[in-house]
Amino acid sequence: MKEVAIFSLLTRLLQVMVQRASWLMVCILLCLSSATVSQAAQDEPLVVVVNQASGVDTLTKKEVVDIFMGRYNRFPNGQVAYPVDLPQGSSGKSHFYMQLVNQSERKIQSYWSRLLFSGRAKPPEASESLPDVVNYVVSNEEAIAYLPRTLITSEMKIVFQFSS
């Protein structure tokens, strides 16, 4: 009787260990797949886009910097520019600002905090998700955004792309 109880206890203990090991494996796999997706998003080329109906056909890197860093609120043709950022903390936003001005997202936030305090400029519109950015550009002639090349639609045109 004692042996059956011990065997039953050991069996239950083994079942719990297997369940926990399974959960641990699931967690590890989720972390690895998340890191892979994040890396893939970072490796995907970002392009700067405007609405197809916009009068802007091309921009230089300096012009993109001036718009996204609040130095100018208009396109070179005089049309008002409404820049929009990818969601805070996204790998795309970090990647964009690193390519654009060689600054981390944290330094960009600090930059905007100083400018907002002085009242000199307004940061790009903050988006909640990639689909929000796409909808913003598609529905707003004055919009300018950066997106992974694979998300560009026929309602948008690429005005700047980073060289490899």
Task: State the pLDDT at residue 28.
Answer: 43
Is the pTM higher than 0.85?
Answer: no
Average pLDDT, the chain: 83
Whether 93 and 132 have beta carbons less than 8 Å apart is answered as: no
Tell me the C-alpha distance between 148 and 155, whole Å. Answer: 15
Decide if pLDDT at 33 tops 80: no
- Render pLDDT for 122-136 as a digit per residue (tens, 0 to 9): 899 999 999 999 999
Task: State the pLDDT at residue 44.
Answer: 78
**Alpha helix ranges (H) inside the chain:** 2-43, 61-68, 91-101, 105-118, 130-139
- Give the model's confidence band at 42: pLDDT under 50 very low, under 70 low, under 90 confident, else very high: very low
Task: State the pLDDT at residue 25.
Answer: 43
10 and 68 both lie in a single domain: no
122 and 100 both lie in a single domain: yes
Q: What separation in angstroms does the CA of 31 have from each of 10, 24, 53, 108?
A: 31, 11, 41, 27
145 and 84 both lie in a single domain: yes
10 and 53 both lie in a single domain: no
62 and 112 both lie in a single domain: yes
Q: What separation in angstroms does the CA of 15 have from each of 20, 58, 105?
A: 9, 63, 46
148 and 72 both lie in a single domain: yes
Domains in the chain: how many in total?
Answer: 2
156 and 75 both lie in a single domain: yes
121 and 70 both lie in a single domain: yes
Decide if pLDDT at 155 tops 70: yes
22 and 51 both lie in a single domain: no
4 and 81 both lie in a single domain: no
> By residue range, what is the domain housing residue 1?
1-43
